[in-house]
Amino acid sequence: MKIIECSSYEQISKYGAEIIAQQINEKRNSVLGLATGSTPIGMYRELTDMYENNCLDFSGITTFNLDEYCGIDYNIPQSYHHFMQENLFSKVNIPMKSIHIPDASAEDAETACRNYEDAICKAGGIDIQVLGLGHDGHIGFNEPSDSFPVITHKVKLEERTILANMRFFARREDVPQFAVTMGIGTIMKARRILLLVFGDDKEEIMKRALTGKVIPQVPASVLQLHPDVTVLYGK
């Protein structure tokens, strides 16, 4: 595991974008696993700048997002579909047909989750997976639990996650209680992982996750078992 301490949020964003750009330049048809949340926004801005300056071409890229809320209109700003459009997809030339976000509105969630796993497989697997870190150690929406969820699945969000996500909603009642997320197994199958962590408030959980015991109660601790993880951390 490579842990790079950054001096600012801007530096995390810049280094993160450089790592993604290098991946794309080395393999034009790379498969990117993407995250939402506040941490990767700066990195998406950097990637957008590279595209606008003709330094990066996304036309061969396929993307798979980590997660999406259940029971949410995909057109409202709080949905992850909308977030990705706003922060990246509408600004670069990733073909629409190559963009994948879990279908959290499907009536048959199990089949939709299985289809998502199949689509990742068919695309050749994820080359690099971007992750943020939740305050309780979650990655994607894999919350602390008694076992590591293996595949894409529907999950009930923890109170702490709901409270953390409240900043994006007008009222607590508006925050969805359920989401669909890639499983820990899905994430661990990515060939490379890029974990972005920013802020004092993440320092303690980051230490527990990266140097503590590997336990499902701290889902991100599983990353210690992955052969190619880069962590960009700053506060």
Residues annotated as catalytic (active site), given as ranges: 67, 136, 138, 143
Distances (CA, A) of 193 to 15, 31, 86, 126, 220: 14, 12, 23, 9, 12
16 binds ligand F6R (CB under 6 A): no
Closest separation in Å from C-beta 55 to ligand F6R: 25
Chain positions 47 to 76 lying near ligand F6R, rule: CB under 6 A, are: 66-67
46 binds ligand F6R (CB under 6 A): no
Min dist CB 133 to ligand F6R, Å, is 6
List, in order, residues 6 or more apart from 159 with CB less than 8 Å away: none
Query: Binding residue for ligand F6R (CB under 6 A) from 16, 42, 132, 183?
Result: 132
38 binds ligand F6R (CB under 6 A): yes
Number of residues that bind ligand F6R (CB under 6 A): 14
65, 68, 72, 76 alpha-carbon torsion, rounded to 10°: -40
Shortest Å, Cβ 21 to ligand F6R: 21
For the CB of residue 68, give the shortest distance to ligand F6R in the complex, in Å: 8
219 binds ligand F6R (CB under 6 A): no
Q: Is 35 in the site for ligand F6R (CB under 6 A)?
A: yes
Among residues 5, 16, 82, 4, the alpha carbon closest in space to that of 47 is found at: 16
Partner residues linked to 131 by β-bridges = 195
Answer whether 57's CB lies under 8 Å from 28's CB: yes
User: Of residues 138, 149, 175, 189, which one binds ligand F6R by CB under 6 A?
Assistant: 138
Task: Rule CB under 6 A: choose which of 139, 175, 184, 231 binds ligand F6R.
Answer: 139
| 217: helix, strand or coil | coil
Cβ closest to ligand F6R, residue 23 vs residue 181: 181
Task: Please give the order of strands across the beta sheet that includes 153-156.
Answer: 67-69, 178-181, 153-156
**Does 140 interact with ligand F6R (rule: CB under 6 A)?**
yes
Q: Give the torsion sign (CA, 141, 96, 168, 190).
A: positive
The CB-of-116 to ligand F6R minimum distance in angstroms stands at 14
By the rule CB under 6 A, 100 interacts with ligand F6R: no
Q: Is 139 helix (H, G, I), strand (E, B) or coil?
A: strand
The reply to whether 39 sits near ligand F6R by the rule CB under 6 A is yes
Rg, the chain, Cα only: 16
H/E element, 142: none
Q: Kindly list the residues in this chain that would bind ligand F6R in the complex (CB under 6 A).
A: 35-39, 66-67, 132-134, 138-141
